[in-house]
Amino acid sequence: MSEKRLKIAIQRSGRLSGPTIELLKKCDIGFQDGMGKLRSLADNFPLEIYSLRDDDIPQYVEDGVADVGIVGENIVAENGCGIDVVAKLGFGKCRLSLAVPKAFQYSAAKDIQGWRIATTYPKILKTFLHEKGVSAEIHNISGSVEIAPSIGLADAVCDLVGSGSTLFSNGLVEAETVMTSEAVLISNRNVEPSIKKILDKLVFRISAVRTAQQNKYILLNAPNEKLDDISQLLPGIKSPTVMPLAESGWSSLHSVINESDFWEIVEKLRDAGAEGILVLSIDQMINGSTAMGA
């Protein structure tokens, strides 16, 4: 009998492909025969990878052709209903925004009552307009949405935005964020128990990688009389590790600090008398709890 494998659908080629493969590699999952094929097998983890168009992934997962998938929340909101979101993955961040011509003074959604809006996300836009109590004509087009107003096809657009430069170069400006999005791990709702065990292992590894990405390992030297003050600045997982240095009167402190307040803490450490501060990236970090925010 062949070994049970978790089937994962990922984007074949596009913005999410690179970061998805990178994430799997950081989870120490290697591939036998390279990526880019429709189907490939991991060689050290029971995983079978399907490389597909991102729009098709929710349906494949809902139908059970794949057990899980990695896609943007925007695709889940537009195309996915009978699936579960298991974890947020922290990459592919963007927003779906309503954008109007630069010269237009937008103050509220009611300003676009009766307008023609071009989008690839008709379902999300319809819900948004309904919630705002606005009726507008939704033009569902499949690509290059941002040029629709300049060729007279629409008055406004509802499209994905990263830096905003594409909108800007097409004479448009963001009027309102309809939703924010990042890549997520989605799952079929009826995964059989043996496959669920593999999924739990994958989620555990992803969680360890994500936690590590949000933290840094810090080492520093401190004069003993300043140890208390410096330790207060280093919460660590529990509290910092303190070890005596060969030079008397000095100690070495090791700790883990969150990336979000990293620079602020480093400056405070320096001001408090820390020397020889070394900062290292962490590959994986396993906390007591590995629950991931979905």
* Binding interface with ligand PRT (CB under 6 A): 11, 14-16, 53-55, 72, 74-75, 92, 94, 159-166, 181
Closest CB 142 distance from ligand PRT, rounded Å: 9
Which one, 89 or 112, has the nearer CB to ligand PRT?
Answer: 89
Which one, 92 or 240, has the nearer CB to Zn ion?
Answer: 92
Which one, 46 or 101, has the nearer CB to ligand PRT?
Answer: 101
141 binds Zn ion (CB under 5 A): no
Which one of Zn ion, ligand PRT, none is in contact with 211 (Cβ closer than 5 to 8 A by kind)?
none
**In whole angstroms, what is the distance from residue 37 CA to residue 190 CA?**
27
**In whole angstroms, what is the distance from residue 61 CA to residue 72 CA?**
14
55 binds Zn ion (CB under 5 A): yes
Helix, strand and coil in the chain, % to nearest 5: 30, 30, 35
**In whole angstroms, what is the distance from residue 2 CA to residue 10 CA?**
23
Token readout for 219 is 């080492």
Going by their DSSP bridges, the two strands 83-88 and 183-188 should be labelled as antiparallel
Q: Give 14-81 as a DSSP string.
A: STTHHHHHHHHHHTT--BSS-SSSSEEEBSSSSEEEEEE-GGGHHHHHHHTSSSEEEEEHHHHHHH-S
State the amino acid at position 161 in one-letter form. Answer: V
Q: Find the part of the chain contacting Zn ion (CB under 5 A) among 46-54, 243-251, 269-277, 279-287.
A: 46-54
Which one, 28 or 55, has the nearer CB to Zn ion?
Answer: 55
Which one of Zn ion, ligand PRT, none is in contact with 181 (Cβ closer than 5 to 8 A by kind)?
ligand PRT
Which of 116, 123, 128 lies closest to 157, judged by CA? 116
Closest CB 116 distance from ligand PRT, rounded Å: 19
Closest CB 106 distance from ligand PRT, rounded Å: 18
Which one, 55 or 182, has the nearer CB to Zn ion?
Answer: 55
Which of 96, 53, 89, 56 lies closest to 74, judged by CA? 96
Residue whose Cβ sits closest to ligand PRT: 72
Q: How large is the C-alpha radius of gyration of the chain? A: 24
Which one of Zn ion, ligand PRT, none is in contact with 94 (Cβ closer than 5 to 8 A by kind)?
ligand PRT
Which one, 58 or 72, has the nearer CB to ligand PRT?
Answer: 72
Residues found near Zn ion in the complex (CB under 5 A): 54-55
